[in-house]
A and B are shown apart, each in its own frame.
Chain A
Amino acid sequence: MAKYKLKEGITLSPFGENSQITNKNLTDSIAEYLISEGRASIEDFEVSEEGFPPAPPEATSEVVPPVVNEDENTITAVVEDSVTTLEGKLSKAKVKPIETIPVTPAPPEATSEVVPPVVKG
């Protein structure tokens, strides 16, 4: 649980314009270093002795190419959602394929057939 969290809307650039610290890459040791070096003020942070939960990571969805089962002529697709936690651990949640609902074929559209007039002699 992190002790420091940047207040909403605050982004730090401790090493110039090409460096950026947000809640996604902030750790307690980095926060304490930045405060001690005067690169950030304690006012920039919310501080909790109990600790904040980790910032929500950026979710990346990885789409596995569909596997074609030639025998049954069916296509199975698996979508894996990969989520990286702040601790750098990778947790994967596999979503089961959606069950196939059999579709009843629609009745054929009614066609109008023009019957040639019967000519009586």
Chain B
Amino acid sequence: MALAYNKVDIRGVAFKDVMGEILFTNNTLEEGLVTFAEDVKANTVFTDTAHVVALQQYTSGSPTASGTIGVNDYLVTPKKFVVYDEFNMEALRTGRFNRDMKPGAWNMTSTEFEAAVLNGIAPYVSIAAEQAFWNGATTATKAAVAALTPGTPITSVGAAEQAYVAAAPTQLFDGVITKMIYDATNSVVGARSKVAGTTITASNIFTEYGKLYTGGPAVVLHSKVEKPTIYAPYSHLAMINQFNTANTYKSDVFVVDQVAGTYYFQGVKIVFVPIPENCMVLGVKSSIVWVTDLTDDLTYVQIEKKQNNADDMFYKFVFLLESHVRNRKFQTLYLG
């Protein structure tokens, strides 16, 4: 039971607004920064293809078979989460929320409390889901990555990658960054491209974005099918603006439209999501997938009495979530 109400007994009037904290918006969801696979209740197969072809000398007879028709299936099952707490509106009886309680001792439900307080919980749930989507790591993956020997080759986890997974919040599923580092389904190092980074500041941010820009597969930048995106942590917004201010009369700056809120590096759009500091992803939106049953589940809250012979109430959110990264070798992870 956790209703922490620092209450003042109401005598005069109460100001209309109930003000909540300033929160990050779940940009991943609201701006559609990744791909959404909805209506997934359980096992869903995602299939990637990668072919190898060989040009051979023509023969009028029977040719020799050569090449590979490569098809990879990944089975994805979202994890089911619940956010649940209990409270009792009796605690509100002498405070501001008693003003819309109906007459009668039986009536202790405050519509204002439900609308202004309980509905305000949904953004917290949404942000927690977004953070898990990008950042989580399971206990099993943490143990598996900790047991690896870090190294520079792309087939090894880097020292920074190993430290990141160890320090990542423990979750029921591996988030996007962890999935890029380690493929827990096949127990192998993730097939991402990797760039060894460093601590990013307002001074070196342009140079570090350059490392990411040139560090990934060239085909991603040349693709006519889909333009890549740079996924960056929230702190980079301020660093980019500071860098641009310090380099106002130079051409080597980020292209920023502060009114529209758009940020570009060498023509590649930058979006800000809750990924760790000193981490960036250069990838294509279609390859980073938010797997769920219904995205609206994050905004649906059930508020009811626990049982008929008591006045204890509960609120409850239920949703499904899993992350999936497709075509991993075309996604580049900068981590320092």
Q: Chain A: residues with CB nearer than 8 A to chain B?
A: 12-16, 18-21, 25-27, 29-30, 32-34, 37-39, 84, 87-88
Contacts and interface: CB of A to CB of B under 8 A. Distances in A.
Contacts of B336: 37
26 contacts: A14-B163, A14-B167, A15-B163, A15-B167, A18-B135, A18-B168, A18-B169, A18-B274, A19-B169, A19-B276, A20-B167, A20-B169, A21-B163, A25-B142, A26-B166, A27-B146, A27-B166, A29-B159, A30-B166, A33-B150, A33-B160, A37-B160, A37-B199, A39-B199, A84-B139, A84-B143
A19 B147 contact: no
Q: Which 6 A-B pairs have the closest CB atoms?
A: A15-B276, A88-B143, A19-B167, A33-B159, A16-B277, A25-B166
A18 B274 CA distance: 9
Given A25-B142, A29-B150, A37 B198 contact: yes
Contacts of B274: 18
A55 B272 CA distance: 37
Contacts of B160: 33, 37
Which has the most chain A C-beta neighbours within 10 Å: B147, B198, B277, B336? B277
A31 to B, nearest CB: 9
A44 B322 CA distance: 36
A29 B147 CA distance: 11
A88 B167 contact: no
B167 A21 contact: yes
A87 B144 CA distance: 9
A27 to B, nearest CB: 6
Contacts of B144: 88
B116 to A, nearest CB: 28
A38 B162 contact: no
Contacts of B235: 16
Contacts of B180: none
Given A16-B276, A25-B146, A33 B163 contact: yes
A13 B150 CA distance: 20
Interface of B: 131, 135, 139, 142-144, 146-147, 149-150, 159-160, 162-164, 166-169, 198-199, 233, 235, 274, 276-279, 336
Contacts of A38: 199
A15 B233 CA distance: 10
A79 to B, nearest CB: 22
A87 B147 contact: yes
Contacts of B198: 37
Contacts of A27: 146, 162, 166
Given A18-B135, A19-B168, A88-B144, A34 B163 contact: yes
B23 to A, nearest CB: 14
Nearest to B134: A18
Nearest to B234: A16
A1 B39 CA distance: 48
Nearest to A16: B277
A49 B88 CA distance: 57
A95 B167 CA distance: 34
A13 B224 CA distance: 40
A30 B168 contact: no
Given A29-B159, A84-B139, 8 more contacts: A14-B163, A14-B164, A20-B169, A25-B142, A27-B166, A33-B159, A33-B163, A37-B199
A88 B187 CA distance: 14
Which has the most chain B C-beta neighbours within 10 Å: A18, A20, A37? A18
